[in-house]
Structure 1
């Protein structure tokens, strides 16, 4: 269930000219990550300071720029050979912080407990994906309430002024997404464990020992730089 994440290749193609220009200008991937964080902060400030429906224009502009930066930092890193573990770390922190900043923009309009609930719930899908990557399986992305969907809900709230319903949609959708991702990660982990067990049996029968068989899936499916990707 990829949701709007399925549009990522289409969106990436729309950014081709901008990506090439940034590469020619020697803009670092980390700078693009930081720019995305600034765009998220600007979207949150627009929520807080501009009333609906006028807020929808700056919010859509800044959230689109935030999504563009989230796409560009990884593609620039790959094309320029600048993938680093530090870049992967900064990418993950920047992505999580940008999501939280956008939701904080709801604070002047709805109660603090509702905002905190939305903050906590919206983080859960990412925790599951990161935990799965740490366990050695591929990174799980997509909806039904991923990063793109949260931006869409935020844009609707900015246009309508329905901040509390939007926060509830984020909470419920994020909890469902966390459950879907947890199920997918569990299936992948069981599959890799089964493959490792079968390889271990084969090694013992062939007299090769079991040295690293328990980690057989890890190197194949988990790239330490996957956060930047």
Structure 2
């Protein structure tokens, strides 16, 4: 079970807005680029001014907005005939870039470390890479959990809210990044197994 499973309900709420955006000529690729640029700018700003702990409150807010933008670009592409090869590339690359940009500020907060956050970024990238590889072996794009994109957004959004309000993390929270590492490895294994199973079923 992963937060990705509630995506259809979330899309239903956004559908009226998506129809209006399409009528204004807004494209899926434009929405994707807005989400990426916003994530990079926010991550860079918070990293440069990490001593202003209240800035971390922007992370959960932007995570929610970004989740909406990601849903919107997909709906614009599928439901308004905007699907393209460029869009498919932008969609995957932008997610990896945006995630990295929004995770980096936490490397500047104790008890977390640069090495720990770097490992999370690496594994998150690898998880999404394997998810895409499902398509190359005759299956579908894999979104299996337990630590998919939406679950990571919830986790780091909660961390941003905590740090923004409290200004400090308790020392005992050091175990969180090792736990996320384990969950990402589990996700990597799940996506690999499900992709192979699906591919074999298609033969």
TM-score by length of 2: 0.84
Q: What is the match of residue 102 of structure 1? A: 102
- Aligned residue pair count: 192
**1:153 Cα offset (Å):** 0.8
2:108 match: secondary structure: coil
Residues 43-192 of structure 1 aligned to structure 2 (within 5 Å): 43-45=42-44, 47-48=46-47, 49=49, 54-55=54-55, 57-109=57-109, 110-161=112-163, 162=169, 164-192=174-202
Q: Distance in 2 between matches of 1:59 and 1:167?
A: 18
1:153 and 1:166 in contact (8 A); partners too = no
Q: Distance in 2 between matches of 1:51 and 1:148?
A: 27
2:60 and 2:158 in contact (8 A); partners too = no
Higher helix share: 2
Q: Distance in 2 between matches of 1:40 and 1:168?
A: 25
Q: What is the match of residue 14 of structure 1? A: 13
- Structure 1 residues not aligned, in runs of 5+: 194-229
- Structure 2 residues not aligned, in runs of 5+: 164-168
- Aligned pair in 2 of structure 1 residues 56, 100: CA closer, same or farther (>3 Å)? closer
1:44 and 1:103 in contact (8 A); partners too = yes
- Aligned pair in 2 of structure 1 residues 16, 50: CA closer, same or farther (>3 Å)? farther
The RMSD of aligned alpha carbons is 2.2
